[in-house]
Amino acid sequence: MVTLYGIKTCDTCRKARRTLDDLGVAYRYHDLREDGLDATRLDAFLARSDWNTLLNTRSTTWRGLDEADKRDLDVDRARALLLAHPTLLKRPVLETPDHFLVGFKTDAYRALQAA
């Protein structure tokens, strides 16, 4: 099963959804703002990707954090921030049993069609 994690207002997430639809790839959409991000799912993400890749330091949510929250980050502090603010997750995240993609690249999504 393909699951796409994102938020509805994100242009990149919309582009990813359109691409999956155009390719005929069936997927389940998980809206991080509405559905949240639980510890079990986040730990699975962290097992498949580095926390530096998953933490979106260019987001509006990041800019709104206190400076103290942004300092001295490590995996545990990043994990706590992501659990408290799921929209800090770099989007979209596409997860299948065989693939884990953070961000959107058309070619990587097209490769799913062949898989």
Q: Which residues are catalytic?
A: 10
Torsion of CA 51, 92, 24, 108, to 10 degrees: -50
How buried is residue 81: exposed, middle or buried, by Cβ count under 10 Å (0-12/13-18/19+)? buried
Cα 59-64-68 angle, rounded to 5 deg: 110
